[in-house]
Amino acid sequence: MDDLIELVSPEQLPEETATRFLLEGVVVAVEPEGGRSWWFPQLEVSLVQQELSADGSFAVSGHRDAGSFAEALAVLRQLAQHPPGTRGAGHSEGGA
């Protein structure tokens, strides 16, 4: 079994090959897109580093303006808890 670790810092993001991390206990794949951009296939979003400084700004595609890595990570964690295709699932229970 894989020894997956929680994604907590930008230094962990892969440079050349896809890898997997935990986000709030949910396993997600991360694929480098080249330069300073990473694709999260299950979440259907990209994480983009917009400034190359040590505490540069990050943005998650389709979600708010750029902010710190911690802010972008919070968005990714929320998405991991409710990935695309599962939103609204579970609301079909109950009588009609």
Q: What is the pLDDT of residue 35?
A: 81
Is 24 contained in some domain? yes
pLDDT along the chain (96 residues), means of 10: 85 94 95 93 94 78 86 94 67 40
- 35 lies in a domain? yes
Is 1 a member of any domain? no
What is the pLDDT, as a whole number, of residue 86?
Answer: 65
Q: Quote the number of domains for the chain.
A: 1
Q: 3-state SS of 26-87?
A: EEEEEEEEECCEEEECCCCEEEEECCCCCCCCEEECCEEEEECHHHHHHHHHHHHHCCCCCC
Write down the pLDDT at residue 94.
Answer: 42
pTM score of the predicted model? 0.80
- Residue range(s) defining the domain that contains residue 25: 10-81
Is residue 26 assigned to a domain? yes
